[in-house]
Amino acid sequence: MLSVRLDELSIVHLRNIRSARIEPCPRFNVISGRNGMGKSNLIEGIYLLGALRSFRTAVRGELLMYGEERARVTGLFGDAAAGIRCEMTWTRGERTVTVDGKDVTATGMHFQMLPMVLFHPAMMDIVQGGPEIRRRFLDRAMFQADGRYPSIYRAYQRVLANRNRLLRDGRSDQRALAPFDTQLADAGSRMVSMRAEFVDQMQPFFKDAAERISEGGVAEMTYRPSIRGAQEEYARVLADKAGVDRERRFTTAGPHADDLVFLMEGHAARRYASQGQQRTLVLAAKIAETRALADCTGRIPLLLFDDVSSELDRDRNRHLFAFLQSMGGQVFITTTHRDYIHIDEHRADYSVVDGTFIPG
């Protein structure tokens, strides 16, 4: 299978990176440097090209180097994304993304074209943390897995905000809510079925990975939608809950309140899993995401691992590197100690000091 491969990357004024230009190797790119040197900033720059947003901030101004007005990230891609030149430029106020010189609209095709899987230390909370972390994990994968998802997701968020405004302002008799409920049920029921389908796709990969890592442990992920069913059934549940929604002054059920539950040996991992088991589940979830996305998009996603091996113990690191070897595709991996990275072949090393990247 072809992979998303970044052949050339150039960055100007992204955080502490004044100017960088690297030609990554097709397989393993290991970026090492002390804390605060700019490793995550580089990963953030690459991720911006695929996700069109940062994984660390929703405030674009924060991504501008102090004292600068304009920033730019440019990527030239090869292999599955051959010939694609993607560029994002931004100021405090606006942002432009182009692919081959044409403006990119926030439709699904962009995310499917450049699938990327990111793993960074905050994701260790995916099991233990609140449901919003798991919804974000699922949604981010869905944006890339299914070209219809981004616009349905946006439609849902828009109607939800409008409905919530009515509820908050107390202008929420049935007549006022009805038109919103129809739209909400339409977008919401589709989101739920698409999410359920994708979780089904991840499931075998997830079980398999967890079993290998934990040497026989049985793990499972279960999608728990707060409203099930097709549009009509969804609308009925929504209507049933209207009283509660009015009382609490917001929409209490729907995809924005769903959860993805991890189970270990049949028990809720959030409550019962040990630290080690949780690490197993997190790693297995990222492996499952990668494999399912490869199936959905027909290309191996670009893999971004930011400082992860310091979070995993020796055994799980071994599994991580075995997975990366077998998956193929291009990998960017950052570390404070390059000898943590047990990869010998097809490897290019970079060191970073104060936002400057030096090969070798």
- Kindly list the residues in this chain that would bind ligand ADP in the complex (CB under 6 A): 15-16, 33, 35-41, 62, 64-66
Residue 36 binding partner per list Mg ion, ligand ADP, none, with a CB distance cut-off of 5 to 8 Å that depends on partner kind: ligand ADP
In the complex with Mg ion, the residue whose CB is nearer, 73 or 202, is 73
The full DSSP string for 146-181 is -TTHHHHHHHHHHHHHHHHHHHHHT---HHHHHHHH
270 binds, among ligand ADP, Mg ion, none (CB under 5 to 8 A by kind): none
Q: What's the closest the beta carbon of residue 307 comes to Mg ion, in angstroms?
A: 5
Give the Cα separation of 155 and 106 in Å (integer): 12
For the CB of residue 301, give the shortest distance to ligand ADP in the complex, in Å.
21
Nearest residue (CB) to ligand ADP, 16 versus 226? 16
Give residue number: closest CB to Mg ion: 40
38 binds, among Mg ion, ligand ADP, none (CB under 5 to 8 A by kind): ligand ADP
Q: Which does 320 bind (CB under 5 to 8 A by kind): ligand ADP, Mg ion, none?
A: none
46 touches 332 (CB < 8 A):
yes
As measured in angstroms, the least distance from the Cβ of 75 to ligand ADP is 18
Sign of CA dihedral 307, 310, 316, 319: positive
Helices 314-327 and 174-213, packing angle to 10 deg: 100
Q: Quick check: 40 binds Mg ion (CB under 5 A)?
A: yes
Stretch that binds Mg ion, among 14-22, 40-48, 55-63, 155-163 (CB under 5 A): 40-48
Residue 295: name its binding partner from Mg ion, ligand ADP, none (Cβ under 5 to 8 Å by kind).
none
Structural tokens at position 175: 């007549």
Nearer CB in complex with Mg ion: 62/100: 62
Query: Which of the listed partners (ligand ADP, Mg ion, none) does 27 bind, with a CB threshold of 5 to 8 Å by partner kind?
Result: none
Tell me the window of 33-41, 45-53, 97-105, 211-219 that interacts with Mg ion (CB under 5 A): 33-41
CB of 336 to Mg ion, least distance (A): 9
Nearer to Mg ion, 275 or 310 (CB): 310
Residue 77's H or E segment, with its range, is strand 71-79
Asked if residue 41 binds Mg ion (CB under 5 A), the reply is no
Q: Determine the Cα–Cα distance for residues 350 and 254; give it in Å rounded to an integer.
A: 45
Q: Nearest distance from residue 80's CB to ligand ADP, in Å?
A: 28
Residues 147-151: contacts with CB under 8 Å, at least 24 apart? 147/107, 147/108, 147/109, 147/111, 147/112, 148/108, 148/190, 148/194, 149/108, 149/191, 149/194, 150/106, 150/107, 150/108, 150/111, 151/107, 151/108
We find the least distance from the C-beta atom of residue 110 to ligand ADP, in angstroms, to be 25
Beta carbon of residue 17, minimum distance to ligand ADP (angstroms, whole number): 8
Tokens standing for 10?
A: 């150039």
Considering the complex, state which of residue 14 and residue 152 has its C-beta at the smaller distance from Mg ion.
14
CB of 305 to Mg ion, least distance (A): 11
**Among residues 39 and 319, whose Cβ is nearest to Mg ion?**
39
* Rounded CA Rg of the chain: 21
209-245 b/e (C-beta count within 10 Å ≥ 16 → b) = bbebbbeebebbbebebbbeeeeeebbebbeebbeeb
Whose Cβ is closer to ligand ADP: residue 156's or residue 350's? 350
Judged by beta carbon, residue 143 or residue 305, the one nearer ligand ADP is 305
Which span sits near Mg ion by CB under 5 A: 19-27, 32-40, 202-210, 325-333? 32-40
H/E stretch holding 30 reads strand 28-32
What is 308-336 written as a DSSP string? -TTTS-HHHHHHHHHHHHHH-S-EEEEES
CA end-to-end distance (rounded Å), the chain: 29
Query: Which of 36-44, 63-71, 163-171, 212-220 is the region at the interface with Mg ion (rule: CB under 5 A)?
Result: 36-44
- For strands 95-99 and 85-90, give the pairing: antiparallel
Report the run of H or E that residue 108 belongs to, with start and end: helix 108-113
